[in-house]
Structure 1
């Protein structure tokens, strides 16, 4: 879907490596926060690193506490799953332009 909208997409597989983020310097990170706290750890790692702290992060999840998780982990935005595709694309555009 994002490629169809003209975005270059890189999918990162587990395990998370901060070095991979530094190497590719993405314009935006879409981060799924699952039932474990991996999403929190990843978000904090990126935001606590001087080289990556300014990369916008959009956190997504089905968790009802997502707004709180996004705030305490310094995500720039969040979107609750399931989400409307148009709203998701608007959030991406907004995050890239801020």
Structure 2
């Protein structure tokens, strides 16, 4: 099953995504900030990353830039999640596959994960 890396400093959101995506058959790894996520991604390349934008230690924009700079991780699709409008996010980073506004509908997130993984030859 494809590995999905969930990155969010809000435990409840990370746990919800982990539980729901595992129920859908995905392998899920959770990180609470971009630094942890980058370490996980370097150790085992994920098929997809779902990341919050605002986090301590390393935010979503810094994670996106670090992954883009790494040849092994540069083509991994990244979904940015935030309560801020996409225009604000787009001012700070680019290259993400999809933006999801928080709070999101969990069934919409399942569809996004499925579509992104299908488009890259995953599940």
1:32 aligns with one of 49, 52, 76:
52
Equivalenced residue count is: 97
Matched, 1:48 2:69: yes
In the alignment, which residue of structure 2 is the partner of 1:75? 96
- Indicate conservation of the 8 Å contact 1:26/1:55, yes or no: yes
| Unaligned runs of at least 5 residues, structure 2 | 1-19
What aligned pairs does 1:83-94 form with structure 2 within 5 A after superposition? 83-94=104-115
Matched, 1:11 2:30: yes
TM-aligned CA deviation for residue 68 of structure 1: 5.2
TM-score by length of 1: 0.83
List structure 1 segments (4+ residues) > 4 angstroms apart after TM superposition.
none
Q: Distance in 1 between matches of 2:34 and 2:117?
A: 26
> CA separation of 1:55/1:67 partners in 2, compared to 1, >3 Å: closer, same or farther?
farther
Provide Cα deviations, 1:8-38, integer angstroms capped at 9, x if missing partner: 1101244615343121111110110127771
TM-aligned CA deviation for residue 5 of structure 1: 1.2
TM-score by length of 2: 0.68
* Structure with a larger share of its residues in helix: 2
